[in-house]
Amino acid sequence: MGTNSKETCEESRNGGVDDVNHFNVPITEIVQPQQAPDFGIDDNSSGRDYTGVFEGPEKTLEVCFRRIGGGNHNDEKNKNQVGLRKLKREHLDQLCARARCTILSRVSNEHLDAYVLSESSLFVYPYMLVLKTCGTTTLLRVISFLIDLAKTYCQLEIMWLGYSRKNFSFPGDQEFPHQSFHQELEYLDSHHILSERLNGNGYTLGPVNSDHWFVFVADHTVRVNPDTDTDRVLNIMMFEIDPEVSKLFFYEEYGEKNIENEECNNMEYQHTKKLDRHKMISSEMTVKSGIEALCPDALLDAQAFEPCGYSMNAIAGASYTTIHITPESGSSYASFETNRKLGAAKLIPQVLKTFRPKRFVMTLMADELGLMDYENPLKMSTINVDAKNKMIFKRNSLASIQVEDDCCCMMGNW
């Protein structure tokens, strides 16, 4: 990217292919996040110019549904065409447009569909949807549309909703309704479509003068099968990652582009060559950084962004892992999130050794059954990553709360 073009890492994160690897659909150009199609959204934002830094920590929305009229979910055999997985691609495109992001690629198995987005990830299960967006996206604006989609096309009603985010590093860059947690709660409470269905509460965990975590939960759960209805999500948000690690996620580290200079003037050929190069760089970033080793035996979908940045989804069985990296100097950040039932004593140090941050925040949201027989990593007051190189992290704060009936939220700073 030439500096004269004034293009930045935020303005030109366009590294993906539209489902080309998996579903044989035509190649399309990626619409940039702040230029999402107009679907008649109640948009009070006008878009902000890039300020030289990027808000890496994601906003996360998890919504669980149940059949209208009840019924046992476990009697369904073909989960590929059940519940939310019956939604068409055009519905998901419209959903993402409300958050000001676009779908880049998808991988699937019998349990879920995992989408890499222009800004983070989307996971669709038969009865649960998880949407993570970073930067200046407007995540809460998808909720009413999602509820109506689920009712109209899937005959589902909302059962549980959780929204969470860390406090922003650059709050002045955010769009409505994300300019403060108070504004977010006000939006959820006053929105004419949401308020009658989302009688939830907001909470703050952690020191208000340092890194802290905002959580909103609306719980209308009626347990269908207490033995199988379990959930846990672990998120590690890492800041000031090692410069040598950050360097791995810049396009320029993988050779100069020469596609436009080739003798062949065939646009389709040049586009194919560009996509091939993109796949190669995405793969190289995954291997060279050590990310591949963090997700053994999983189906990976990695996307490098030009001129910098990286996103990856990995699915194995009914579990997902997602990694997102913002390598810009001054706002370098990496996140690792998973709902796997993992061996924390081994995995957490491996994640930290991969990115080598100066500090990190770890959060856990789980129901009580999800915590049973689970090695809770937030209980580790000291994490010895590499004693030889003095890479030892000590926890300096820990907060926890039980929300609604059985949702446990924990947050720690190291």
| Catalytic-residue membership of 409 | no
CA distance 169 to 378: 23
| Catalytic-residue membership of 120 | yes
Report the candidate in 321, 313, 338 with the shortest Cα–Cα distance to residue 117: 313
Sort residue 332 into left (φ over 0), alpha (ψ -120 to 50) or beta. Answer: beta
Query: Six-digit token pair at 116?
Result: 């890499």
Under a CB-based contact definition with an 8 Å cutoff, are residues 363 and 410 in contact? yes
Considering 9, 10, 58, 246, which one is annotated as catalytic? 58
In terms of residues, how long is the chain? 414
Under a CB-based contact definition with an 8 Å cutoff, are residues 286 and 277 in contact? no
Under a CB-based contact definition with an 8 Å cutoff, are residues 109 and 21 in contact? no
Considering 324, 331, 407, 409, which one is annotated as catalytic? 324
Considering 9, 10, 12, 55, which one is annotated as catalytic? 55
Is the bond preceding residue 349 a cis peptide, omega within 30 degrees? no
CA distance 375 to 246: 30
Query: Six-digit token pair at 22?
Result: 């998996």
| Catalytic-residue membership of 64 | no
Q: Which residue has the tokens 């109506």?
A: 148
Considering 12, 282, 289, 311, which one is annotated as catalytic? 311
DSSP notation for 262-317: SS---HHHHHHHHHHHHHHHHHHHHHHTT-GGGSTT-EEEEEE-SSB-EEEEEEET
| Catalytic-residue membership of 210 | no
Considering 120, 246, 282, 331, which one is annotated as catalytic? 120
CA distance 385 to 314: 24
| Catalytic-residue membership of 10 | no
| Catalytic-residue membership of 134 | yes
Report the candidate in 202, 206, 120, 114 with the shortest Cα–Cα distance to residue 161: 202
CA distance 221 to 73: 14
Sort residue 140 into left (φ over 0), alpha (ψ -120 to 50) or beta. Answer: alpha
Is the bond preceding residue 307 a cis peptide, omega within 30 degrees? yes
Considering 9, 96, 134, 308, which one is annotated as catalytic? 134
Sort residue 270 into left (φ over 0), alpha (ψ -120 to 50) or beta. Answer: alpha
CA distance 286 to 118: 18
The CA R_g of the chain, rounded to the nearest whole Å, is: 21
Active site residues: 55, 58, 120, 134, 311, 324
